[in-house]
Amino acid sequence: MSENKLEYERTPSNMCGVTMSAGVEGNAVAEVMGEKEGVEITRFPAMVRIDASDKLEFDLDEIAEALGVEEFTPEDFEIETSTHYGRMVKMDDRVLLFANPEDAAEAIGFELPEVNQ
């Protein structure tokens, strides 16, 4: 990985993540995710970055509890997310991000076609 986090590289990083607004919801998501092993939280004045190697799993019930609300949906999550990298899989109770597209396909039961090289 590059010494400068904002420098572009053409090599796979095996990372995935989201950038969220640093409002009530985004900060609550960051607090919940910051307690998970291998998750890196980077705070900026108006946004929060949440990054991890291989996979990120956002448990929407945990986030709802942290916010003190009855429900936090995948759509609520998307509203707070300004951008993401990795393959996103939305389920009723969680949002998953995968660095590897094959892992995302496996999570949803999608069989990728074989590629002959």
| pLDDT value at 20 more than 60 | yes
**Following CA atoms 99, 85, 67, 60 in sequence, which dihedral angle do they give, to the nearest 10 degrees?**
-40
Tell me the chain's radius of gyration from C-alpha atoms: 15
Query: How far is it, in rounded angstroms, from Cα 75 to Cα 50?
Result: 18
> What's the pLDDT band for 1 if we cut at 50, 70, 90?
very low
Break the chain into its structural domains and give their ranges.
15-107
| pLDDT value at 35 more than 70 | yes
pTM of the model: 0.84
Query: How far is it, in rounded angstroms, from Cα 113 to Cα 110?
Result: 9
Superfamily name with CATH number, domain 15-107: Monooxygenase component MmoB/DmpM (3.90.56.10)
